[in-house]
Chain A
Amino acid sequence: MDLRAKLALLADAAKYDASCASSGTEKRDSRQGGLGSTEGMGICHAYAPDGRCISLLKVLLTNACVFDCAYCINRATSNVARARFTVAELVKLTLAFYRRNYIEGLFLSSGIIRSPDYTMEQLIRVARTLREEHGFLGYIHLKTIPEAAPELLAEAGRWADRLSINVELPQVASLKRLAPEKDLPAIGGAMQQLAGRIAEAKEARRTARRAAPPRFAPAGQSTQMIVGADDSDDRRILGKGAELYEKYGLRRVYYSGYSPIPEASSLLPPAPPPLLREHRLYQADWLLRFYGFGTEEILAGGEGGMLDLEIDPKLAWALKHRADFPVDLNSAPRELLLRVPGLGARNVERIVAARQEGRVRLADLARLRVPLRKVAPFLLAPDHRAAPGLLDSPRLRAMLTTPGGFGAQARPRQLSLFS
């Protein structure tokens, strides 16, 4: 098979992994030698017609796999053609793309061949060759095989910026049914190991006297959960996410709506991917991490353990907590402003700054490009008082639901919220 055909097959097989981030690693640049730089902010070098960011060369080393995960196009019993890159081919492709400014780096994953250790070794070889032989300073994300030996995980973190292990399904029962060879305790154990080493390296960097203490995955670890392949509700998914953030200090949990694949297993729903649900989960995740919400608070905005699909989770929460509003634009503490639907964290900071210089009016918010229609019912300002009864009106929800809002709101959040 020629390189182009391999690339087509092994990129196609990698596209179900939602991760695309290339941010949050240490700063590096090539003025003292080497090729490449990382400056904190990730860069999306292109967008595919699915609206997703293309930041890294995201491919599998091979799509052959001894496991048989039902949701995966590469599972052992699928009829797809198989291919495998050589280390030299992957290195050459990564460098050729990088030099032309197509990508920020490499995201390398793989089906499991022979054994977890063997597979992990192959992934590491690619990263090591890039770093050691070619002085590559761009971003490297390696998928980690949880069952691989601890020494291999340790070496992976030396070369990679980010490591990830996908939990894929939020409950053991689903994992048993759909990915029988995957072992949740092993996944947890490996995440724990990575978390320990990441924290250690971070501490060493903080206290280092000499230059360059040993590095370990400076951009941390992330994971992915598939949404809609099993019957897990949003409570279970968000709960699992919150648990992972807390236990292992993950940088990011990705939610990936189960997408139909060619050669699908009959265990799975032949349905379009639940994009809107995925989007709401990202919004909820954001509220958890940056807006001071708790999981149960967010879920209280919906019904029966599911988020409200029609409106965003902050608005859903506010509509069920109307007694907490309106809040005064000029006297409310930051934490309360963060709970106002339509006010983002950045604008809350700007409002707090502007308050130092005088009263802030609703008209001022328009200049900060705040959606006035959305915030108005929940705010009190010198030039604004919501119509009496509006906040308690059963019609408020309908009024705030943008006409044709489905399409506009279904934009995947991971693009703009790039960690």
Chain B
Amino acid sequence: MRRPEAPQPAGAAAAEAFSVALEGCADFAAWRLAARRLLAAGIPPESVEWRTPEDPPGLFGGRPPPEAEGPPLPVPRDFVEMAELAIRHADRERFALLYALLWDSQTRPGLLRTPTEPRMARLAGMARAVRRDAHKMHAFLRFREIGTPEGPRSVAWFEPEHHIVEAEAGFFVRRFAILRWSILTPRRCAHWDGAALAFTPGARRADAPAEDAAEDLWRTYFASIFNPARLKPDAMRAEMPKKYWKNLPEAAVIPELMQGAEGRVRVMLGQEFRAPRRRQKAEGD
């Protein structure tokens, strides 16, 4: 890769505008390839515009970077891991932020190992947000089963915050390889037919089934496992923010559980001790 001791001739690449058109919103490999080309050509971050299919047509209209790639970049593994996550973030500046860090690390070798540097902290925050989004998807996505001519199919509607459907589809394959399923989201959908994954553009909530026969039992379980003597709605909302509730079948009973809690506890605390009944006999089958 070009070393900083060999600065670009002023007015050459530096002044020109470049535009990188990425085909996916979370395509790490494509970003990395573009970044390597840009670095090899000595093109500074401020001359690059990063675009995805989600962006409106550019005002800038720069040309694509030259295709010469340069050698692989030695970057810390932690940085790569964070970058792979941050690429999925909804923040439009994610590509530019990563490239700027890479660019500056050429003159400041320790940069990518300094978690306290402001941009590195921002990157860590983005990676954290994406990880959390993925975790919430694993946790809060709910399948509903429908009958189709080819047999039962499990369909879920979920609204992730970031571009995580492609990356997280594997989790659902590993877990539910035996089922046939579709995960519908506003930006991207994933489908598993028992053997292969396919992705299609976004869907609408109405495209997913509206109910499932098991949900009533699930709500019963949710209501019964709740201990009214320990009511702590803030702790619940911190982990299961309200924005998820509309797609969680069990959330429908939360208000009544909270309203009833106090009364139930008062009864337990103030109860008269009833005479214990006779010891029951060991029960048979």
CB closest residue in chain B, given A30: B177
Q: Which residues in chain A, 43-73, are within 8 Å of chain B measured between CB atoms?
A: 43-54, 57-59, 62, 64, 66, 68
CB closest residue in chain B, given A3: B217
A417 within 8 A of B: no
What separation, in Å, do the CA atoms of A101 and B156 have in the docked complex? 10
B130 within 8 A of A: no
Q: How large is the interface on B (under 10, 10 to 19, 20 to 34, 35 or more residues)?
A: 35 or more
A329 to chain B, nearest CB (A): 11
B144 within 8 A of A: yes
Tell whether, in the assembled complex, residue A47 and residue B116 are in contact, meaning their CB atoms are under 8 Å apart.
Answer: no
Q: Which residues in chain B, 238-285, are within 8 Å of chain A measured between CB atoms?
A: 238-240, 248, 250, 254, 257-258, 261, 265, 267-271, 273-274, 276-280, 282-284
Tell whether, in the assembled complex, residue A30 and residue B174 are in contact, meaning their CB atoms are under 8 Å apart.
Answer: yes
Tell whether, in the assembled complex, residue A354 and residue B116 are in contact, meaning their CB atoms are under 8 Å apart.
Answer: yes
Given contacts A99-B145, A101-B142, A356-B113, contact A76 B279 (CB under 8 A): yes
For A84, list chain B residues within 8 Å (CB). Answer: 283
For A48, list chain B residues within 8 Å (CB). Answer: 222, 225-227, 236, 257
Tell whether, in the assembled complex, residue B220 and residue A7 are in contact, meaning their CB atoms are under 8 Å apart.
Answer: yes
A241 within 8 A of B: no
What separation, in Å, do the CA atoms of A102 and B220 have in the docked complex? 13
B175 within 8 A of A: yes
For A58, list chain B residues within 8 Å (CB). Answer: 225
Complex interface bits, A238-269 against B, C-beta within 8 A gives 1, otherwise 0: 00000000000000000001011111111000
Tell whether, in the assembled complex, residue A62 and residue B175 are in contact, meaning their CB atoms are under 8 Å apart.
Answer: no
Tell whether, in the assembled complex, residue A46 and residue B224 are in contact, meaning their CB atoms are under 8 Å apart.
Answer: no
For A44, list chain B residues within 8 Å (CB). Answer: 139, 239
B121 within 8 A of A: yes
A36 within 8 A of B: yes
B93 within 8 A of A: no
For A30, list chain B residues within 8 Å (CB). Answer: 174-178
Complex interface bits, B57-89 against A, C-beta within 8 A gives 1, otherwise 0: 000000000000000000000000000000000
B133 to chain A, nearest CB (A): 14
What separation, in Å, do the CA atoms of A283 and B273 have in the docked complex? 35
Q: Which residues in chain A, 401-417, are within 8 Å of chain B measured between CB atoms?
A: 407, 410-412, 415
CB closest residue in chain B, given A122: B285
Given contacts A16-B227, A49-B232, contact A77 B142 (CB under 8 A): no
A204 within 8 A of B: no
Partner of A34, one of B111, B178, B273: B178
For B274, list chain A residues within 8 Å (CB). Answer: 79, 263
B229 within 8 A of A: yes
Tell whether, in the assembled complex, residue B283 and residue A113 are in contact, meaning their CB atoms are under 8 Å apart.
Answer: yes
For A57, list chain B residues within 8 Å (CB). Answer: 221
Q: Which residues in chain A, 91-140, are within 8 Å of chain B measured between CB atoms?
A: 93, 96-97, 99-102, 113-115, 135
Partner of A368, one of B116, B138, B173: B116
Chain B binding surface SS class: helix
Tell whether, in the assembled complex, residue A82 and residue B115 are in contact, meaning their CB atoms are under 8 Å apart.
Answer: no
Tell whether, in the assembled complex, residue A97 and residue B232 are in contact, meaning their CB atoms are under 8 Å apart.
Answer: no
Tell whether, in the assembled complex, residue A367 and residue B229 are in contact, meaning their CB atoms are under 8 Å apart.
Answer: no
What separation, in Å, do the CA atoms of A11 and B238 have in the docked complex? 24
Given contacts A100-B214, A260-B265, contact A358 B226 (CB under 8 A): no
B216 within 8 A of A: yes
What separation, in Å, do the CA atoms of A36 and B175 have in the docked complex? 4
B234 within 8 A of A: yes
For A354, list chain B residues within 8 Å (CB). Answer: 113-116
Partner of B269, one of A11, A271, A368: A271
Q: How large is the interface on A (under 10, 10 to 19, 20 to 34, 35 or more residues)?
A: 35 or more
For B236, list chain A residues within 8 Å (CB). Answer: 47-51
What separation, in Å, do the CA atoms of A275 and B234 have in the docked complex? 14
What separation, in Å, do the CA atoms of A151 and B220 have in the docked complex? 36
For B265, list chain A residues within 8 Å (CB). Answer: 260, 272
A37 within 8 A of B: yes
What separation, in Å, do the CA atoms of A354 and B111 have in the docked complex? 10
Tell whether, in the assembled complex, residue B154 and residue A99 are in contact, meaning their CB atoms are under 8 Å apart.
Answer: yes
A353 within 8 A of B: yes
Q: Which residues in chain A, 389-411, are within 8 Å of chain B measured between CB atoms?
A: 407, 410-411
Partner of B240, one of A35, A47, A264, A364: A47
Partner of B232, one of A51, A99, A101: A51
Given contacts A3-B217, A15-B225, contact A50 B280 (CB under 8 A): no
What separation, in Å, do the CA atoms of A12 and B115 have in the docked complex? 46
For B267, list chain A residues within 8 Å (CB). Answer: 262
B135 within 8 A of A: yes
Tell whether, in the assembled complex, residue B280 and residue A52 are in contact, meaning their CB atoms are under 8 Å apart.
Answer: no
Tell whether, in the assembled complex, residue B221 and residue A11 are in contact, meaning their CB atoms are under 8 Å apart.
Answer: yes
What separation, in Å, do the CA atoms of A82 and B284 have in the docked complex? 12
Partner of A415, one of B116, B228, B235: B235
B244 to chain A, nearest CB (A): 10
CB closest residue in chain B, given A347: B115
For A367, list chain B residues within 8 Å (CB). Answer: 115-116, 118, 121
B233 within 8 A of A: yes
CB closest residue in chain A, given B281: A66
What separation, in Å, do the CA atoms of A265 and B274 have in the docked complex? 9
CB closest residue in chain A, given B213: A96
Tell whether, in the assembled complex, residue A51 and residue B234 are in contact, meaning their CB atoms are under 8 Å apart.
Answer: yes
What separation, in Å, do the CA atoms of A266 and B276 have in the docked complex? 10
Complex interface bits, B195-230 against A, C-beta within 8 A gives 1, otherwise 0: 000000000000000001010111011111111111
Looking at B143, B225, B273, which has the most chain A CB atoms within 10 Å of its CB?
Answer: B225
9 A–B contacts, CB within 8 A, in A order: A11-B220, A11-B221, A14-B225, A35-B176, A43-B135, A101-B176, A114-B284, A259-B230, A272-B265
| CB-based closest 4 A-B pairs | A51-B235, A364-B116, A77-B276, A51-B232
